[in-house]
Amino acid sequence: MSKPDWGTERAARGERLAAAGSLAKGKIVDSADVTALLEAVIRPGDRVCLEGDNQKQADLLAVALAGVDRTKVFDLHMVQSGVVLPEHLDVFETGVAKRLDYAYSGPQAARIARMLFGGKIELGAVHTYLELFARYFIDLTPNVALIAAVSADRDGNLYTGPNTEDTPTVVEATAFKSGIVIAQVNAIVDKVPRVDIPGDRVNFIVEAGKPFYVEPLFTRDPGAITEMQILTAMLAIKGIYAEYGVKRLNHGIGFSTAAIELLLPTFAEKLGLKGKIATHWALNPHPTLIPAIESGWVTQIHSFGSEVGMDDYIAARSDVYFTGADGSLRSNRAFCQTAGLYACDMFIGSTLQIDLQGNSSTVTTSRIAGFGGAPNMGSDPRGRRHASAPWLKAGEEADPDSPAALRRGRKLVVQIGETFGDGNVPMFVEHLDALVLAEKLSLDLAPVMIYADDVTHIVTEEGVANLLLCRDKDEREQAVRGVAGYTDVGRGRDAKMVQRLRERGVIRRPEDLGVDPLDADRSLLAAKSIKDLVRWSGGLYAPPSKFRNW
């Protein structure tokens, strides 16, 4: 019996490096030769990870990959967390890429839907971030990783700066499995400010000559926050944050959660909640949290990535943020997702659709936005073994009959939104569009963002539904209908049963919580504009130009 050849992967890496040797001076490749470099090191059918993050984009490498010779590079399996740039989908139009496993596609949500329905993309799965990162180390290990960094020295040591995001995870999986790592950098320098990625894990560096693209994904203009969103924020603060004493939490993207952040120094302060709620966060540097930070509400924040314009503010608030000796943020999406999953007591975020049992999804028949980290943040981690007051209280509500010492706690998973969203489209539906998508694409699993058994509360302008207190499927359905307002789902409620649920505290209307909807006024916001946020920051926050209207 012949012995296995245990050096095939290293030998293949050697061949790839040799094929690109004439294009590199040491590790440095001229930007004009990037497409040729990719043609030299990528093989047909390779798994390629292209950053492709939530915010940070390896845009030079994305353009180069879209421009390779289709006869040399084809049928690639793209494994990347974010499908954000047009070039990320152009490679599928041309046949350079064939199969896709990803997590998030916000800006390309409509196009990716059309291409999936049109058969241009062979879909592996829509993942959560942690799920996709995990598979990098199991069965989706990249052969080639195309990444972005702020700067590099000539030995390939990389400085990733505030937007480190997915880079360490991608590099770790690729470099230690005989893969090729190519980094585009804004500049090649004599010495990097700090070594974020060691040079022995990087094979080639390309100076892009301009900063890589970063999407200001988490910036919300306080001027666009409505009184309805302020009302839902008030209900959440009084009905959930205060009730459970939630200190460790994550906020999803949206105007409702931005409203909560801006109500902490005003509405929540008047309730006497300072120091009792919202002190420790897994969160990107939301500009709308600046007033709460400046008011002494926030103790500590660990971030998935940074946010455009927040660098100087973060450097000046190192007591709150995780920063390096150079003063810049050290973000890490994998670590922060883990913190949000296991170390936080609550996730609260918005969605596009909620069904009768509380399943939620951001997938519609015309847009497939993916999930990002919401299913990680918004899930009850059954591996958790440490106790906290909110976790124990939620567990007792869900399972009052089990012995206390053996009862599992519960993470609070809250969906917040208005009964009718953009374009007067109802948030509540009888059946998720995700089911339609699964049928059309013959998927084994419908793309549900957060499953019903993880959702503990739903907040709308109608009130708060505490699903932990529901004892059967019928009660759960009526609790959902009870806060669904004048949508078709809401109008289909059993009025008597909803009233009984209200009497038990399963449903609580604004008046039950002592909240007058007429008090939901923009005067409650600690900042009413982007300019106000700049003032709160002492001039340290430098918002992107599209948010400057003064």
Mean pLDDT of 364-385: 90
H helices within 192-271, ranges in order?
227-236, 242-244, 255-263, 269-270
- List alpha helices for 295-364, DSSP H: 311-316, 333-338
Residue 550 has pLDDT above 80, yes or no: no
CA 177 → CA 8, 140, 170, 510, 548, distances in Å? 11, 11, 11, 56, 46
CB proximity list for 422: less than 8 A, separation 6 or greater: none
Measured distance CA(198)–CA(200) in Å, rounded: 6
Euclidean distance between CA atoms 296 and 278, whole angstroms: 11
CA distance 49 to 142: 6
CA–CA distance, 103 with 333 (Å, rounded to integer) = 13
Q: What is the pLDDT of residues 197-248, one digit of tens each?
A: 999 999 999 999 899 999 998 999 999 999 999 999 999 999 999 999 999 9
What domains can be seen in the chain, in order of their start residue? 24-214 (3.40.1080.10), 225-533 (3.40.1080.10)
Distance (Å, rounded) from C-alpha 76 to C-alpha 152? 28
Q: Which residue has the tokens 């139009």?
A: 93
**How far apart are the C-alpha atoms of 517 and 510, rounded to whole Å?**
7
Residue 80: HSE in the Cβ half-sphere, 13 Å Cα cutoff: 28
Report the greatest alpha carbon distance in the chain.
82
Mean pLDDT score, 58-67: 98
List Cβ neighbours of 405 (8 Å cut-off, separation of 6 or more): none
Q: What is the pLDDT of residues 351-372, one digit of tens each?
A: 999 999 999 998 887 888 888 8
Per-residue pLDDT at 372: 86
User: Which band of pLDDT confidence, cut at 50, 70 and 90, is reported for residue 427?
Assistant: very high
Contact 163, 331 (CB under 8 A): yes
Mean pLDDT of 501-527: 98
Residue 190, classified by CB atoms within 10 Å of its CB into exposed (0-12), middle (13-18) or buried (19+), is exposed
**Cα atoms in the Cβ-side hemisphere of radius 13 Å centred on 420:** 7
- Of the two residues 238 and 442, the one the predictor is more confident about is 238
Per DSSP bridges, beta strands 144-152 and 47-50 are parallel
Helix orientation angle between 109-117 and 86-94, rounded to the nearest 10 degrees: 20
Strands (E), 65-154: 76-79, 97-102, 122-126, 144-152
pLDDT band at 505 (very low <50, low <70, confident <90, very high): very high
Burial (CB count <10 Å: 0-12, 13-18, 19+), residue 165: buried
CA distance 246 to 348: 11
DSSP for residue 525: -
CB 339 within 8 Å of CB 302? yes
Helix spans in 344-494 (H): 374-377, 389-398, 433-440, 473-482, 488-491
Report the mean per-residue pLDDT for the chain. Answer: 96
Tens digits of residue pLDDT in 86-100 = 999 999 999 999 999
What percent of the chain has a predicted confidence (pLDDT) above 70?
100
- pTM: predicted TM-score of the whole model, two decimal places: 0.96
- In this structure, what DSSP letter does residue 36 have? H
- With a cut of 80, say whether residue 549 has pLDDT above it: no
Q: Any idea what the Cα angle at residue 250 is, between residues 246 and 255, rounded to 5°?
A: 105
Residues 6+ apart with CB under 8 A from 129: 54, 81, 103, 104, 166, 333, 334, 337, 372, 373, 376
Output Rg (C-alpha) for the chain, integer angstroms: 24
Helix (H) or strand (E) holding 507: strand 507-508
Grouping H, G, I as helix, E, B as strand and the rest as coil, residue 49 is strand
